[in-house]
Amino acid sequence: MNCIIVDDDNLSCKLLEGYVQKYASLNLVGIFNDAISARNEMIGRKDIDLVLLDIMMPEMDGFDFIGSLDHPPNIIIVSGAEDFALKAFDFNVVDYLLKPISYSRFCKAIDKTIKYFSAPVKEISSSGDEEIFIKKGSSLVKLKLKEIVFVEALENYVTLNTNTDKFTIHFTMKAIESQLPSTVFIRVHRSFIINKSMIQAIKESSLDIVVGHTVKNIPVGKSFRDSLLNDINVMAR
């Protein structure tokens, strides 16, 4: 797993570099002391799987950095302040490490990344007819992918919403997006993936989808709007 370190604290960078080198599955491809340099590097390459990211940095902080990326990779926050932990999980980060970081705590975060949020897998179906089983309570419920109306992020979980039910699973948006067929689903916001066949109307910064017998309004992020409009059939004069 290719990773980079983004932190303006040189001592922290040195510590993290040593931890990365000890962990066999990690390959360090860069260390950056500011978010702008890291972002410029990431624009030119698509093989960075993980970012070890500080929050408080000059010019562009960690949250602005994540928000500036159309499709952020796995993010582990490394911070000296615990005040930002709740906000961090709104950005779907994998974990939040509080400095000073022990190697055992570092390993736990990386193990979690590899187990739940590793590299995307090939789409398992182009039509959405593939059936999966999802745990609900003490039972396993069979579900066709195309029955999912929308997916919503919830910290380091996601909820799969159908017309009649809702399932909460331990995934990130990036991981679940990689397993849903792009012919059926599209990501429209940092926190939402929708079934394109359920779109009722597209507005300036949101869209309406049909969920059962009701219409639900879903926000559309600025960075996702163009790809949404390019992906659907639009007839305009």
Domain boundary among 116, 150, 178: 116
Identify whether 121 is part of a domain.
no
Which letter does DSSP use for residue 122 in this model?
A: P
Domain boundary among 116, 150, 167: 116
Helices (H), the chain: 10-22, 35-43, 62-68, 85-90, 103-116, 173-179, 222-231
Identify whether 108 is part of a domain.
yes
Identify whether 138 is part of a domain.
yes
Statement to judge: residues 94 and 147 lie in one domain: no
Q: Is residue 143 helix, strand or coil?
A: strand
Domain containing residue 198: 131-231
Identify whether 31 is part of a domain.
yes
Statement to judge: residues 139 and 100 lie in one domain: no
d(CA 177, CA 56): 29
Statement to judge: residues 204 and 112 lie in one domain: no
- Record the pTM: 0.56
Statement to judge: residues 180 and 221 lie in one domain: yes
Residue 83's pLDDT is what?
A: 87
195: domain CATH number? 2.40.50.1020
Residue 227's pLDDT is what?
A: 87
Residue 150's pLDDT is what?
A: 97
The string of DSSP codes covering 23-79 is: STT-EEEEEESSHHHHHHHHHT-S---EEEE-S--SSS-HHHHHHH-SS--EEEEEE
Question: 158: part of which helix (H) or strand (E)?
Answer: strand 157-161
Q: Which two tokens stand for residue 228?
A: 């949404």
Statement to judge: residues 107 and 29 lie in one domain: yes
Statement to judge: residues 37 and 104 lie in one domain: yes
d(CA 137, CA 118): 26
Identify whether 124 is part of a domain.
no
d(CA 36, CA 149): 36
78: domain CATH number? 3.40.50.2300
Residue 161's pLDDT is what?
A: 95
Question: Do residues 139 and 53 make contact, with C-beta atoms less than 8 angstroms apart?
Answer: no
Statement to judge: residues 153 and 76 lie in one domain: no
Statement to judge: residues 213 and 190 lie in one domain: yes
Domain boundary among 70, 90, 116: 116
Q: Along the chain (237 residues), what's the average pLDDT of each consecutive run of 10 residues?
A: 94 96 93 95 86 94 90 91 85 90 95 70 58 78 91 86 90 81 91 95 94 94 89 63
Total of domains in the chain: 2
Which letter does DSSP use for residue 123 in this model?
A: P
Statement to judge: residues 139 and 62 lie in one domain: no
Statement to judge: residues 136 and 222 lie in one domain: yes
Residue 234's pLDDT is what?
A: 63
d(CA 143, CA 141): 6
Identify whether 40 is part of a domain.
yes
